[in-house]
Amino acid sequence: MAKAIEVRDDLEMTIGRALLGKHGARRGSVRQQVHDGDTVFVEAAGNIGIRFLSIDTPEVSFRIPGSTRFVSISSDNWKAFLNQPFAREYEAFSIELPDLLRMHLESATGEDCAANHYRHARAAEAELEKMITADMEEMMQDTETFGFFLAFAFEVMDAYGRFLCYINRNQPNRFEPTPRPETYNERMLSGGWACPYFIWPNLNPWKKLDRIEDAVPKPGEAGKEAKKSASLTAARNAVVDARQHHRGIFDATEPLQLEPFELRMLARRSPPERWLIDLSSNNDELINPLEYPSVPHSEDRLWIPNHFVPLFVEKGWKKRLIRQDL
């Protein structure tokens, strides 16, 4: 089935398709579905993707450098690219990467990088399928009746037309038929199947505030605020526990070499743009995107979208200059 919302590069816009919404069991009439002069109720005509907030799993496929086509990470092309991502045959990065970042990426790539990434991607995919299937059985439902519950944060949709949310099985009664489990986002983290990818303000305690200005933590207090959130603390502790017990991407014999956002960054030939805050400290610094490896554990990184950085600076945060001695 076609996507209800999709990015069309040829049109340089994101487009969507919809039908008149349902009225009871049947499709409603124009009269029933027009609410007023600027509102009409519709039903999406096609599938809508959901991107899980706060996690990032290895890529099964992605656009190979120099092409708009998605190619399996298991392919020989990806094997060659991730073996030497800075080879002359590939397009140069949009800016020159600092030596320390380039060294970090070179150490994470190599001959077995593509196979390593693909293995972890398939494992994460299989685990999510297993979770959803188990939930379907638990709810005594099938593919026609099983549904999802979506919880949105500050951003509702990304640039690719996907919903951004926390997702779980749709279970109105939290105790029946069995106690409601954690969201798939949280379960994937706990099992070690996903990397944490905490992007402000789409997580507690910041997503609850009415005004975006009020969601900016005070300089030097982001770490303290993070600890006040039971859900964020639990998510961070779950990652630490998965690492200590060598689950999933932290497998003792073959851990994930390249983080998913790093693979995308190498493929796009464009460095990261989000600044970040180190939640393990309580300083007032915004760390330059090119220095993200200075925060070694991904559960300690709070990513700040570039367009929000001026708001942080206005509130007293300081943009850290690139350090050459890290």
How confident is the prediction along the chain (326 residues), in pLDDT tens digits per residue? 678 888 887 777 888 999 999 999 999 999 999 988 888 999 999 999 999 999 999 999 999 988 888 999 999 999 999 999 999 999 999 899 999 999 999 999 999 999 999 999 999 999 999 999 999 999 999 999 999 999 999 999 998 889 999 999 999 999 999 999 999 999 999 999 999 999 999 999 999 888 999 999 999 999 999 999 999 999 999 999 999 999 999 999 999 999 999 999 999 999 999 999 999 998 999 999 999 999 999 999 999 999 999 999 999 999 988 765 44
- Look at residue 282 and tell me if it is in a domain: no
Structure tokens at 321: 């200059």
Q: Are 152 and 163 in contact (CB under 8 A)?
A: yes
Residue 178 sits in the same domain as residue 62: yes
- Look at residue 236 and tell me if it is in a domain: yes
Residue 94 sits in the same domain as residue 38: no
Report how many domains make up the chain: 2
- Using alpha carbons, list the distances in angstroms from residue 149 to 126, 168, 169, 180: 21, 5, 6, 11
Residue 179: CB atoms within 10 Å: 9
In the block, tokens 């380039």 appear at 102
Average pLDDT score over the chain: 94
- Look at residue 293 and tell me if it is in a domain: no
- Look at residue 291 and tell me if it is in a domain: no
- Look at residue 36 and tell me if it is in a domain: yes
Give the Cα-Cα-Cα angle 58, 62, 64 (nearest 5 degrees): 130
- Using alpha carbons, list the distances in angstroms from residue 178 to 3, 110, 137, 173, 175: 34, 46, 11, 9, 5
- Look at residue 140 and tell me if it is in a domain: yes
What whole-number distance in Å separates Cα of residue 277 and Cα of residue 42? 40
Residue 100 sits in the same domain as residue 241: yes
Residue 61 sits in the same domain as residue 118: yes
* Burial environment of residue 76 by CB neighbours within 10 A (0 to 12, 13 to 18, 19 or more): exposed
Residue 130 is part of which domain span? 52-211+224-257
- Look at residue 229 and tell me if it is in a domain: yes
pTM for this prediction: 0.92
Residue 42 sits in the same domain as residue 109: no
